[in-house]
A = this chain, B = another copy of it.
Amino acid sequence: MTSVSTFNPPIRTLMGPGPSDVSPRVLEALSRPTIGHLDPRFVEMMEEVKGLLQSAFQTNNTMTMPVSAPGSAGMESCFANLVEPGDKVIVCQNGVFGGRMKENVIRCGGEAVMVEDAWGTVVDPAKVEDALKANPDAKILAFVHAETSTGAQSDAATLCKLAQDHDCMTIVDAVTSLGGTPVLVDEWGVDAIYSGTQKCLSCVPGLSPVSFSDKALDVIKNRESPVQSWFLDLNLVMGYWGSGAQRTYHHTAPVNSLYALHESLRILQEEGLENAWARHEKNHQALKAGLEAMGIGFIVKDGDRLPQLNAVTVPEGVDEAAVRKALLEDFNLEIGAGLGALAGKVWRIGLMGHASNQKNVMLCLSALEAVLGQMKAPISKGVALDAAMAVYA
């Protein structure tokens, strides 16, 4: 093939559903010299990553570590390790990612009992309780804490309590919530949880932090059938990520990405979890004030919204893809499209991690007003910025 030039990416502002803007500190750490995945110095760093992840997840679970692949593999790690053929799993679906959970259950040979809620609403605890009562043989309750496709935040504490009351384990999707809103693994009593690095941790995409309770580990160690994935089998992965100085080779860890995760977790530790949550909430309030002043509404009702993922309705008659294209080309600003049933109907505006700041809120509001103005969209002009600034005052 002909000679290929080096790739110089444009400098975007990433306000989609992830990846979010990565801090220069994290990018610099990423590019430090590669060392071996069994180097004693690397093993020391792995221990720090585990400790920092325990803090982020608010857990003492010893099996807390990053899977060496994106969030979808983190999801699969939870299901492939805990679900055996014939196992019944109650899966809550209120968006795209509950559907992906169902796919995982089926591909593991399990039976998925679905609890459906409308996209844009939270998981209804009453329906979950009914499903738990109707299925006393269910082994696992699986739900999405932060539905990235809709921006709805379900009540994880209540859902986990219901599962425990019915002697059911839990698998929780916290891909978009970790670092942005409270994720309290021990307080909630979660058995298996997975997240992603490219959302509110503002790290590069490609890793999936997970945490498993001791009870979950017991179940995994005592499976009747082998885990169907060799790569994700925790019985093997534990030899590499487990405790102690002696590490057994399983796969070659993504060394540099782990440098980046280490640095991004340090940034979270420096800010403090509570401060990070408060910052995400403040910037969400400002964006919301500006968008609503403009006449753009949210698809999730107030109180159920994720501050880091704002799914808003495309104004009547507007070509949503043309708006995203103009934002990208003229402002280097990325916002997200709708997924699945919401494709073409909503935008998803992320305020995640490093990207959740006042500058980005103001950029997004002004760029959106400018682009929609050019398209003669039915919005109120000249009011969004004042409304947002009032929140910061």
Instruction: State the A residues within 8 Å of B (CB).
Output: 1, 3-4, 6-12, 14, 16, 18-19, 21-22, 27-37, 39-42, 45, 48, 51-52, 54-55, 68-73, 75-76, 80, 100, 103-104, 106-108, 196, 198, 204-206, 226-231, 249-257, 259-260, 262-263, 265-266, 269-270, 328, 334, 339
Contacts and interface: CB of A to CB of B under 8 A. Distances in A.
B16 A231 contact: no
Contact of A205 (B1, B7, B21, B254): B254
Contacts of A69: 68-70, 73, 231
12 contacts: A7-B45, A7-B259, A10-B41, A12-B33, A14-B35, A14-B36, A18-B252, A40-B328, A71-B252, A73-B73, A204-B256, A205-B252
A254 B251 contact: no
A237 B257 CA distance: 22
Nearest to A52: B4
A376 to B, nearest CB: 25
Most chain B CB neighbours (cut-off 10 Å) among A31, A51, A107: A31
A36 to B, nearest CB: 5
Contacts of A27: 31-34, 256
Most buried by B among A35, A55, A255: A35
B1 A52 contact: yes
A51 B107 contact: no
A21 B34 contact: yes
A206 B100 CA distance: 24
Given A48-B7, A231-B69, A266-B4, A257 B259 contact: no
Given A228-B108, A230-B107, A206 B257 contact: yes
B41 A9 contact: yes
A217 to B, nearest CB: 20
Contacts of A205: 34, 37, 252-256
A367 to B, nearest CB: 16
Given A4-B269, A9-B32, A254-B206, A39 B334 contact: yes
Given A12-B39, A30-B31, A68-B206, 4 more contacts: A7-B259, A7-B262, A19-B35, A21-B34
A188 to B, nearest CB: 20
B34 A1 contact: no
A252 to B, nearest CB: 4
Contacts of A231: 69-70, 72-73, 75-76
Nearest to A10: B41
